[in-house]
Amino acid sequence: MSRTLALFVCLALCCSANDGLAQKKKASRKPVTLRGKNAKRSKKKSATKSQKLPALKTVADKQKFLEVIRESMPTRRVSTKIRYLPADLDNSLEYRVGRDSDFAPLIDDERFVRRVHLDLVGRPPSVKVIRDFVADETGSKRAALVNRLMKTEQFARKWARYWKNVIFHESTAPRSRTNPQALENWLTEQFRKGTSWDRIVAELVSAMPVRNKKKKKEKNAWSQKTGQNNFVLAYENKPPLLASQTARLFMGISIQCAECHDHPFDDWKREQFHELAAFFSKGKYYMPGMGNADKKTEMKPRFLLGEQPTVKLTSHQRRVAVAAYLVYNQDNYWFARSFVNRIWNELVGDGFYAVDSLGPDQECLHPSVVNRIAAVFRYRDFDPRWVFRLLTNSRAYQREIRTIEKDEELFTAVRPIRLNADQVKASVLRLTGPDRTIGRDLDREFRADPSLPQRDREGSVQQSLLLMNNATLHRKLNNGRLKKQLVMVKAPRALLNRLYLAVLSRRPTSREISRGLDHLMTVKNRAEAVEDLLWVLVNSTEFLTKR
């Protein structure tokens, strides 16, 4: 309680100075309303009046607020030089899994360069990049490639699009009131600049979009062109939706069941849900009665872990306060753990928890490992690139693909992972050339919930039919530059090598070469033979899977 009050006192001092308020105005300020133990004391007249908290109506005010709280939290006082290397991760994980377990071998350079390109920048590498990487004999070339890719615009765009899809997949808002592209562009800029994850989330959660009253209501001018406003707008600025989605997306906790009743599988109470929702209300917030909606109970803002403001706040201040409790509270280990678990699930195919199931009563696999990664993530200033660098340079990430049947086998190999819509589209359009119709069709058929665990993601008949029978796609493939280049290659083996590198990012096996040579000899028309081989590879399972 005292720590929270101290934070708000710091805030008041800092922001009042920022506003340029003169010392002579202090006597005219209204006293701050206190909560808890100080409630009775606040009713008594006092010669010393508390400072009034700022309105936080501008972006500068909010940034100042967040900075004051951020600098006062322990995460800023812990050294960012703490070392936790990929080897430390692997040693700890392999010890927990069991050193006598059947671990898959590490992948070769061809498979690594394709995997890391798809994961970090969302597209397969070019033939030249593959050949240059394989030819490079430098021992640290994999780490160097990871660092190089994370500095690109494509890395920032890929993960901005991922989080945009995560936020908007369950959105209930009319599209006329939101702007997903503006959110993606804003997130891209943040990842490009290396903005820390706590700052990004704080901006999203504390956003207070206001409708432009100068425009007609039907214009829906809710400042949706301001990218960070779109998390709030995606859930219609409704307190219950924002409470459940804030907990789900940024803590990995599913509490929506508690809106109507105590959570059946976790230790979340109905009152806790509505206390969290109260942070997002523009005025007083009321919890509807059970069985009698007309019987309502006023709820005061209180975070899930028990923190509550010790002073009366405006709606703007409550939004920033809940963001601060979410990202800077040293006891909220779920915030860091949720990010680590999501990225691990995306890159390896399995998380330590099921995504969005990090509640206190949920089962965790190897908690000491994920806790350690999450703690260092916090100590390293919530740097997203540190998490990607740690994981992609580990043996856990660089192991071969293998079907995993039992939980005991988790992390002994990488689970087969289907490419998402963006990765499929990038892979196809690299072969066909840009085409809006193909891109739209691929987006529609391959779109899936990005929060769904990898083990539950499945293909569909519609996806297969699209790749097999889409007339526009096959016309573009047959008239594309790749096919024309392949037809001009006279040596059959060289043709097959070029084909496999271009489509699957690897050289063909001896069996594939044998079958390919037979086909080239059987079909006398070289163009038709190349067309057949190209069609087979594009429709292969491998084309849609990370190896």
pLDDT band at 76 (very low <50, low <70, confident <90, very high): low
Of 166, 167, 159, 147, nearest to 121 (Cα)?
A: 159
Q: Are residues 167 and 275 in the same domain?
A: yes
Query: Which position has the higher pLDDT, 218 or 106?
Result: 106
Identify the pLDDT of residue 73. Answer: 62
The DSSP secondary-structure symbol of 91 reads H
Would 164 be classed as within a structural domain? Answer: yes
DSSP string, 173-205: S-GGG--HHHHHHHHHHHHHHT--HHHHHHHHH
Element (H, E) at 418: strand 417-418
Q: Are residues 545 and 429 in the same domain?
A: yes
Identify the pLDDT of residue 127. Answer: 95
Identify the pLDDT of residue 407. Answer: 83
Least-confidence region, from 6-10, 235-239, 353-357, 494-498: 6-10
Would 387 be classed as within a structural domain? Answer: no
Interval 125-171: pLDDT, tens: 999 999 999 999 999 999 999 999 999 999 999 999 999 999 999 89
The single residue listed with the structure tokens 């906790």 is 253
Q: Are residues 181 and 324 in the same domain?
A: yes
Q: Are 5 and 279 in contact (CB under 8 A)?
A: no
Q: Are residues 163 and 302 in the same domain?
A: yes
Arithmetic mean of pLDDT, 105-127:
97
Task: Take residue 330 and report the two structure tokens written for it.
Answer: 């040293």
Out of 44, 77, 110, a domain closes at 77
Identify the pLDDT of residue 44. Answer: 39
pLDDT band at 75 (very low <50, low <70, confident <90, very high): low
The single residue listed with the structure tokens 């043709």 is 495
Q: Are residues 73 and 158 in the same domain?
A: no
Would 48 be classed as within a structural domain? Answer: yes
Alpha helices, DSSP H, located in 393-509: 421-432, 436-446, 461-469, 471-478, 481-488, 492-504
Would 376 be classed as within a structural domain? Answer: no
Interval 432-489: pLDDT, tens: 999 999 999 999 999 999 988 888 888 899 999 999 999 999 999 999 899 999 999 9
- How many angstroms separate the CA atoms of 234 and 165, rounded? 11
Neighbours of 57 (CB within 10 A): 12
pLDDT at 10 over 50: no
Rg (C-alpha) for the chain, rounded Å, is: 27
Query: Which position has the higher pLDDT, 350 or 267?
Result: 350
The single residue listed with the structure tokens 């892979």 is 427
Q: Are residues 307 and 427 in the same domain?
A: no
Identify the pLDDT of residue 167. Answer: 96
Number of helices and strands in the chain (H, E): 26, 4
In which domain, by residue range, is 508 found?
Answer: 416-547
Query: Which position has the higher pLDDT, 456 or 56?
Result: 456
Of 479, 478, 498, nearest to 489 (Cα)?
A: 498
Out of 53, 77, 101, a domain closes at 77
Helix (H, G, I), strand (E, B) or coil at 293: strand
Classify residue 262 by burial, with Cβ atoms within 10 Å: 0-12, 13-18, 19+: middle
Would 388 be classed as within a structural domain? Answer: no
Least-confidence region, from 193-197, 240-244, 341-345, 362-366: 362-366
Identify the pLDDT of residue 61. Answer: 78
pLDDT at 42 over 60: no
- The angle at the Cα of 235, spanning 231 to 239, to the nearest 5 degrees, equals 105
- How many angstroms separate the CA atoms of 149 and 93, rounded? 26
Query: Which position has the higher pLDDT, 106 or 222?
Result: 106
- How many angstroms separate the CA atoms of 504 and 538, rounded? 8
Q: Are 345 and 355 in contact (CB under 8 A)?
A: yes
Identify the pLDDT of residue 123. Answer: 96
pTM: 0.86
Contacts with 541 (C-beta within 8 Å, 6 or more apart), sequence order: none
Q: Are 154 and 209 in contact (CB under 8 A)?
A: no
Helix (H, G, I), strand (E, B) or coil at 385: helix
Q: Are residues 312 and 420 in the same domain?
A: no
Q: Taking the CA atoms of 114, 182, 384 and 354 in sequence, report the sign of the dihedral they define.
A: negative
Arithmetic mean of pLDDT, 402-410:
88
Arithmetic mean of pLDDT, 365-390:
93
Interval 298-331: pLDDT, tens: 889 999 888 888 778 888 888 888 998 899 887 8
Arithmetic mean of pLDDT, 98-120:
95
Q: Are residues 308 and 421 in the same domain?
A: no
Identify the pLDDT of residue 216. Answer: 64
Element (H, E) at 546: strand 545-546
pLDDT band at 358 (very low <50, low <70, confident <90, very high): low
Arithmetic mean of pLDDT, 505-518:
96
Q: Which of 38-42, 55-59, 301-305, 499-503 has the highest mean pLDDT?
A: 499-503
Classify residue 286 by burial, with Cβ atoms within 10 Å: 0-12, 13-18, 19+: middle
Task: Take residue 99 and report the two structure tokens written for it.
Answer: 């050193």
- How many angstroms separate the CA atoms of 523 and 358, rounded? 57
| Half-sphere exposure (Cβ direction) of 382: Cα atoms closer than 13 Å | 24
pLDDT at 4 over 50: no
pLDDT at 16 over 60: no
- Phi first, then psi: give them for residue 506, nearest 5 degrees: -155, 165
C-alpha 494, offset from chain centre: 41
Helix (H, G, I), strand (E, B) or coil at 399: strand
Contacts with 190 (C-beta within 8 Å, 6 or more apart), sequence order: 156, 160, 199, 200
Helix (H, G, I), strand (E, B) or coil at 152: coil
- How many angstroms separate the CA atoms of 349 and 415, rounded? 5
Of 56, 54, 52, 55, nearest to 30 (Cα)?
A: 52
Would 368 be classed as within a structural domain? Answer: no
Identify the pLDDT of residue 208. Answer: 86
The DSSP secondary-structure symbol of 158 reads H
Identify the pLDDT of residue 24. Answer: 32
Would 383 be classed as within a structural domain? Answer: no
Q: Are residues 70 and 160 in the same domain?
A: no
pLDDT at 494 over 90: yes
Helix (H, G, I), strand (E, B) or coil at 397: coil
Per the structure, the count of domains in the chain is 3
Task: Take residue 356 and report the two structure tokens written for it.
Answer: 């969005």
Out of 292, 313, 328, a domain closes at 328
pLDDT band at 172 (very low <50, low <70, confident <90, very high): confident
Least-confidence region, from 120-134, 231-245, 278-292, 396-410: 278-292
- How many angstroms separate the CA atoms of 8 and 68, rounded? 9
The DSSP secondary-structure symbol of 292 reads E
Q: Are residues 18 and 158 in the same domain?
A: no
Q: Are residues 324 and 424 in the same domain?
A: no
Task: Take residue 226 and report the two structure tokens written for it.
Answer: 């301001």
- How many angstroms separate the CA atoms of 478 and 100, rounded? 50
Helix 461-469, helix 471-478: angle, nearest 10? 40
Would 146 be classed as within a structural domain? Answer: no
- The angle at the Cα of 379, spanning 200 to 454, to the nearest 5 degrees, equals 60
Arithmetic mean of pLDDT, 387-411:
93
Identify the pLDDT of residue 37. Answer: 37
Classify residue 215 by burial, with Cβ atoms within 10 Å: 0-12, 13-18, 19+: exposed
Could you give the C-alpha distances from 30 to 72, 146, 282, 301, in angstroms and in order?
Answer: 26, 55, 21, 22
Q: Are 84 and 386 in contact (CB under 8 A)?
A: no
Q: Are residues 440 and 547 in the same domain?
A: yes
pLDDT band at 32 (very low <50, low <70, confident <90, very high): very low
Of 250, 422, 228, 389, nearest to 325 (Cα)?
A: 250
